[in-house]
Structure 1
Amino acid sequence: MDSFQVIILALIQGLTEFLPISSSAHLILPAQLLDWQDQGLSFDVAVNTGSLLAVVIYFRRELATMFFAWTGSIATRQHTDDSKLAWWIILATIPAVVFGFTAKGFIETHFRSIEVIAATTIIFGLLLWVADNMANRQLTEYQAGWKKALVIGFAQALALIPGTSRSGATITAALMLGLGREAAARFSFLMSVPVSLGAAILVTKDLMSSGEAIDYQALSLGILVSFVAAYACIHYFLKVISKMGMTPFVIYRLLLGGALCAVIWL
């Protein structure tokens, strides 16, 4: 890839990873529509690393507090709000891990197409609109409880299907279960840390065994651009979400889905 392609794909990853519009769909589309070559495993590792660094650094205080509270709960068997939240995040990660190991190959073989992306983009966009407009949004992430966390975890597992959107599915589920907009977004972002870390480790393992040539200059650029874009996305999304709600993202998903349907039919 040349530098222009690296920047565009890294921007797409950084901007869409935490917005409810599906990063996987947007990364697939350039290859499908513009006939770009596949970016390869090494680039996937790079841009995912940039996004992971962004969420970890942005929520560094919350993550540190949760980690020490969690380790303390193991030692003393006494729980605080932060230790409970940490356990719920761990629990919510399990469905994605199970589905990832059992269904990832099948999904990559059968679901990485414009037709699937168009359908999931529209369907899950409408579900997001329903959740945002009809849910009773009163709970914080500290009031979620393990049952709600597990349901949100199953929603996260659905994001293995391109076009679904990991953040979109988890935010939709959280809203339907009564979490407020900001609480739903924060819970979704915190959930992304163990999943993204695990995915990065697995893809790195695949990369090491693949013998793929590595362009370190392109990867460094991809990490930097993805990090900056993702950090800015998290910051401004949390700033404006309580005021504008999910409607702009729903409209975007419907327009994108409609455009993809037009491409298919033409």
Structure 2
Amino acid sequence: MDWLQITVLAIVQGFTEFLPISSSAHLILVPVLTAWQDQGLAFDVALHLGSLSAVMIYFRREIFSMINSSLNALSGKGVDRDAWLALWVTLATLPVCAIGFVLHDVIEGYMRSTLIISLSLIVFGLLLGYADWKQRGSRSEYQLGLKDAIIIGLAQALALIPGTSRSGITITAALMVGMNREAAARFSFLLSIPVIVLAGGLETIKLAGQPDAMDWNAMIMGTLLSGISAYLCIHFFLAFIRKIGMQPFVIYRVLLGAWLLWIFYF
């Protein structure tokens, strides 16, 4: 890969991983708009490592507090709000892990079509718009309960459908259970950590069986650029979400889905 391809793919991955606009849809656009060859599994792993590093650095205080509080709870020192939050993140991760494990081959073999991605962009985008317009409340991520975690976790499993957007569907569900915009986004970003770790682990296992040599310069640059763009995305998204809301992303998703339908089917 040349440096332009590395830069574009890394920035696309870094931003779309956390914005509610579907990374899978945007990664489809890259070969449509360019003549680049597939970047390969190793580079995908590097990009996800950059995104993971960004979200862990950004939420390092919250992660440390959740780990420390969880250890205190396990040792009998009491359960505080950070321990509960860690539990809700864990429980909300289980559905996507279980369903993804069972249906992995079906999803990879039959659901990665531009038709499904286009329709998912539109349908789940409109659902996000409805949740942001009608259902959002004032609760923070520290005011969640068991039922809320289960609902958000089941919604996250829908992100296995290409084009849905993991951040988009989890923010939608969080808004529907009465969370405010910022809290919904923060909880969604915290949920991304175990999901990216597990998905990256599976990709690494696959990569271990491939004998091809790796382009370490490309991987290092991709990781850095993906991490920087993901960090900036998280920062500005959380900073401006109260003012801009979700509707600009809804409009973008609908237009992108319609455009993909036009390109591939009309």
- Under TM normalisation by the shorter chain, which class is it? over 0.9
> Partners of 2:66 and 2:24 in 1: how far apart?
29
> Partners of 2:213 and 2:25 in 1: how far apart?
25
The answer for the alignment partner of 2:9 in structure 1 is 9
- Whether the aligned pair in 1 keeps the contact of 2:14 and 2:229 (CA below 8 Å) is yes
- Whether the aligned pair in 2 keeps the contact of 1:43 and 1:222 (CA below 8 Å) is yes
- Whether the aligned pair in 1 keeps the contact of 2:92 and 2:154 (CA below 8 Å) is yes
The answer for the alignment partner of 2:260 in structure 1 is 260
**TM-score normalised to structure 1 length:** 0.97
The answer for the alignment partner of 1:37 in structure 2 is 37
How many residues align? The count is: 266
1:28-51 C-alpha deviation (Å, 9 max, x unpaired)? 332355453222110111000000
> Partners of 1:125 and 1:26 in 2: how far apart?
15
Amino acid at match of 1:117: I
SS for the counterpart of 1:37 is coil
The answer for the alignment partner of 1:82 in structure 2 is 82
1:42-53 pair list within 5 angstroms:
42-53=42-53
1:200-219 pair list within 5 angstroms:
200-219=200-219
The answer for the alignment partner of 1:68 in structure 2 is 68
1:132-167 C-alpha deviation (Å, 9 max, x unpaired)? 000041111011112111111111111111110000
> Partners of 2:119 and 2:93 in 1: how far apart?
25
The answer for the alignment partner of 1:227 in structure 2 is 227
> Partners of 2:255 and 2:136 in 1: how far apart?
27
- Whether the aligned pair in 2 keeps the contact of 1:32 and 1:114 (CA below 8 Å) is no
Amino acid at match of 1:203: E
Asked whether 1:103 is paired with 2:97, we answer: no
The answer for the alignment partner of 2:170 in structure 1 is 170
Identify which range, 101-110 or 28-37, moves more after superposition: 28-37
Instruction: Report sequence identity in percent.
Output: 53
Unaligned segments of structure 2, at least 5 residues: none
Identify which range, 35-44 or 134-143, moves more after superposition: 35-44
Asked whether 1:180 is paired with 2:180, we answer: yes
SS for the counterpart of 2:179 is coil
- Whether the aligned pair in 1 keeps the contact of 2:136 and 2:181 (CA below 8 Å) is no
SS for the counterpart of 2:112 is coil
> Partners of 2:150 and 2:212 in 1: how far apart?
37
**TM-score normalised to structure 2 length:** 0.97
> Partners of 1:180 and 1:80 in 2: how far apart?
21
> Partners of 1:105 and 1:77 in 2: how far apart?
44
1:111-137 C-alpha deviation (Å, 9 max, x unpaired)? 112111110000011000000000041
1:54-90 C-alpha deviation (Å, 9 max, x unpaired)? 0000000010001100111111162100000000100
SS for the counterpart of 2:201 is helix
The answer for the alignment partner of 1:20 in structure 2 is 20
1:153-168 pair list within 5 angstroms:
153-168=153-168
